[in-house]
Amino acid sequence: MVGVGLEGLAVHPETPGPSESAWLLAGGLALFYAGNAMIVAGTARSWRPVWPWPLVLVPVVLALGAAPLPTSLLHTAAFAVVTIVAAVHGTVVGRRPEAELSAD
């Protein structure tokens, strides 16, 4: 196919956003967090432990994907911050004694 290239795709980190790559990353992270919520709920046999974490992260990453940030690099940094905060929160909650977990 002559004349068909990938120049129209906004996958470079310096292109204005929200780009296709930001939407793709936001959708992938939303599915990842929804999957995490299902695994946690299935393990605990209750939906109680998944609210607000990690289920609240689904709309957060979708909102970040829709945000008109100037570059895709800023989208990626924002997604990384959300993921790091979620990992830190999960680690802190995982280290609490069982007596504290049942009080939630």
pLDDT digits (tens, 9 = 90+) for 7-60: 444 455 565 556 778 888 899 999 999 998 888 888 878 878 777 777 889 999
What is each CA distance from 46 to 31, 39, 51, 81, in whole angstroms?
20, 10, 10, 28
pLDDT digits (tens, 9 = 90+) for 45-102: 887 877 777 788 999 999 998 888 877 788 889 999 999 998 898 788 777 766 455 5
Residue 20: exposure state from Cβ atoms within 10 A (0-12, 13-18, ≥19): middle
What is each CA distance from 79 to 19, 35, 76, 98, in whole angstroms?
14, 17, 5, 31
DSSP, res 70: S
- What is the Cα–Cα distance from 104 to 102, expressed in whole angstroms? 5
What's the predicted TM-score (pTM) here?
Answer: 0.68
pLDDT at 67: 85
